[in-house]
Amino acid sequence: MGVLLSNGKNIEVDCLSCALTSGVIEPEGGAIIETEHFHAHQDVAYPIKGLIILASKRHIKGFDELNEAEKIDYIHLLTKIRQAQRTVLNIKHVYYFYNEDTSHHFHTWMVPRYDWMDEFGRSVESVRPILLHARKHMNDEKNSKEVLHALAALTKELNGK
């Protein structure tokens, strides 16, 4: 697939998740945390504070393909990021979303809930309209800055800098 980079270059990658977790593509704001088996970054496609993608480094699709070391790393990292979202951004609830029939590879979306999302409902069907609303109506400079600030604060919290 073709991926347009923020520097205007268009590159071809076989798998976007592989490109991101291996460092071929640097996500805006960088990795918020990285371990031996996983890589976490802000989903810059949607300007929502603390919307994090946690992706495996290995190109796998099914949850049951995780090996023992990855399983342990995954749950530790997922909960660590969740705690940072609570501590730094005061996020009370998070929706977790992961589909195995992705065109990329294993990644979990951590979608924080904010009050403005209530009008879209609370079920799984609310997630897509929320993301689209953010992309269409929240891409202003002020909100984009807040997203990057939140990203920096999360990175600091998670890496003890």
Which residue number, 49 or 57, has a Cβ lying nearer to Zn ion?
57
CB of 1 to Zn ion, least distance (A): 11
Smallest distance, Zn ion to C-beta of residue 3, A: 13
Binding residues (CB under 5 A) for Zn ion: these are 15, 17-18, 59, 105
Strands (E), the chain: 2-4, 10-12, 31-34, 38-42, 52-56, 94-97, 107-112
In angstroms, give the least distance from the CB of 16 to Zn ion: 8
Strand 10-12 relative to strand 52-56: parallel, antiparallel, unpaired? Answer: unpaired
Cα end-to-end distance, the chain, whole Å? 36
Closest to Zn ion by CB, 18 vs 150, is 18
Of 59 and 82, nearer to Zn ion (C-beta) is 59
Instruction: Tell me whether residue 58 or residue 113 sits nearer to Zn ion (CB atom).
Output: 58
Dihedral sign computed on CA atoms, order 114, 115, 121, 122 = positive
Rounded to a whole number of angstroms, the minimum distance from the CB of residue 15 to Zn ion is 3
